[in-house]
């Protein structure tokens, strides 16, 4: 007699959840977590991301910036992690409201090291601390992508951007499936955690400590007025641009701006300048350090003193407005106290004579050409 009970229908849907569950570690970058997940499954990072996003070449872009909702959903379905857990590993999550206006997604992230991607190759290496890589499971922190982070506050050693063995930029997304862990150089197999970096002594003034405090609290007192971290980082970038601009021009002829910079205690003649005029986000660590130290020196002065020196040396409102990266109301209110135009200097030689380009200009243009062809970092 046939049974009256219906046989349950077999579910033919195959689960897409990865067999090995990899949990994000504290402050881990999304790219770092993806590479660790790929190695845990015995495949290279490109194979893993191709399985998640078949039509997207994930490693040809800066995947740590952010992921759109569709790609987040795909990764969520494969990894078993929630949308929030995945989003929390992106840079936009940490920068929102601190450096970026909430909800804004600019093409260039201020104060974030740009990778300079070309296909899967990066001109810039992801900075790291060897001491941190030696702690438990090696992984890469999102703080290391911030342009003002030049040393590890835990181990008090400078960060490293290139493999000490082959000098290739750190690009852990290019490791092979046989790599034992993420802290191995993709090019020569050197264990990055065994690198020795320079110890950081007492640095006064210290831009990293100052910027990290502002970033962490979201606000700071500047001259008796509370300003947001967004405004403060706009101010810091403004001062940085003024320093670089005046230092590059000081060797040609004195200027109001150069006189002001010198009056703040910064010696423009001894300040090491990058061989290129690339933004701070595209400069190697060694070239960022002296510039950030100069900005910290300027920020150590009182707001009203800076304004007094600007007026005394005839720096105009237009000069500062030209270097603003974002129309911060707090910074613009400060700038509005300056005269609109600079006082004209008396020319000792009014006749304009066309001269060859200065040696420094030729060197910068040559350096940019070399960098474009991958011959200079």
How far apart are the C-alpha atoms of 1 and 241, rounded to whole Å?
A: 89
The full DSSP string for 208-234 is: HHHHHHHHHHSEEEETTEEEEHHHHHH
pLDDT of 353 above 50:
no
Structure tokens at 28: 């881990």
Q: How confident is the model at residue 265 (pLDDT cuts 50, 70, 90)?
A: very high
Mark residue 145 as left, alpha or beta (left: phi above 0; alpha: psi -120 to 50; beta: remaining). Answer: alpha
- Alpha-carbon Rg of the chain, whole angstroms? 25
Give pLDDT tens digits for 93-131: 999 999 998 878 888 899 999 998 888 999 999 999 999
pLDDT at 348: 46
Place of tokens 């290739």: 168
pLDDT of 212 above 80:
yes
Q: Where are the beta strands (DSSP E) in the chain?
A: 117-118, 121-122, 219-222, 225-228
18 contacts 41 by C-beta, under 8 angstroms: yes
Place of tokens 């506050």: 153
Neighbours of 211 (CB within 10 A): 25
- Positive/negative CA dihedral, 151, 155, 157, 159: negative
pTM: 0.86
142 contacts 113 by C-beta, under 8 angstroms: no
Residues 28-57 have a mean pLDDT of 97
Give pLDDT tens digits for 292-327: 999 999 999 999 999 999 999 999 999 899 888 888
How far apart are the C-alpha atoms of 44 and 36, rounded to whole Å?
A: 10
The DSSP bridge partners found for residue 28 are: 141
91 contacts 64 by C-beta, under 8 angstroms: yes
In 3D space, the residue among 154, 166, 126, 149 whose CA is nearest the CA of residue 32 turns out to be 126
Give pLDDT tens digits for 9-24: 333 333 478 999 999 9
How far apart are the C-alpha atoms of 117 and 78, rounded to whole Å?
A: 26
């Amino acid at each position: 007699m046939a049974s009256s009970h219906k046989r349950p229908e077999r579910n033919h849907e195959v689960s897409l959840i990865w067999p090995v569950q990899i949990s994000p570690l504290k402050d881990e970058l999304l790219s770092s977590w993806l590479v660790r997940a790929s190695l845990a499954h015995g495949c290279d990072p490109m194979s893993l991301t191709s399985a998640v996003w078949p039509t997207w070449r994930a490693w040809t872009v800066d995947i740590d910036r952010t992921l759109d909702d569709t790609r987040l959903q795909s990764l969520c379905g494969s990894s078993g992690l929630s949308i929030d857990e995945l989003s929390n590993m992106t840079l936009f999550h940490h920068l929102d409201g601190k450096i970026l206006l909430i909800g804004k997604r600019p093409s260039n992230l201020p104060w974030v090291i740009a990778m300079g991607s070309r296909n899967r190759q990066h001109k810039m290496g992801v900075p790291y601390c060897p001491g941190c890589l030696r702690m438990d499971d090696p992984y890469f922190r999102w703080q290391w992508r911030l342009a003002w982070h030049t040393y590890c506050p835990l181990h008090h050693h400078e960060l490293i951007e290139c493999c000490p063995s082959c000098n290739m930029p750190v690009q852990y997304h290019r490791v092979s499936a046989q790599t034992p862990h993420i802290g191995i150089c993709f090019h020569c197999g050197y264990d990055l955690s065994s690198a020795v970096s320079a110890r950081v002594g007492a640095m006064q003034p210290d831009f990293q400590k100052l910027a990290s405090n502002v970033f962490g609290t979201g606000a700071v007192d500047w001259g008796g007025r509370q300003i947001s971290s967004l405004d403060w980082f706009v101010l810091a970038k403004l001062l940085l641009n003024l320093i670089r601009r005046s230092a590059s021009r000081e060797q040609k002829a004195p200027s109001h701006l150069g006189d002001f910079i010198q009056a703040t205690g910064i010696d423009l003649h001894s300040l090491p300048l990058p061989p290129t005029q690339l933004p701070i986000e595209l400069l190697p660590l060694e070239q960022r350090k002296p510039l950030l130290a100069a900005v910290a020196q300027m920020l150590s002065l009182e707001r009203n003193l800076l304004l007094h020196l600007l007026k005394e040396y005839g720096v105009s409102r237009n000069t500062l407005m030209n270097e603003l990266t974002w129309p911060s109301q707090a910074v613009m209110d400060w700038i509005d106290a300056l005269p609109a135009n600079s006082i004209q200097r008396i020319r000792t030689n009014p006749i304009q004579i066309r001269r060859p380009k200065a040696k420094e200009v030729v060197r910068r243009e040559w350096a940019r050409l070399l960098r474009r062809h991958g011959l200079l970092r």
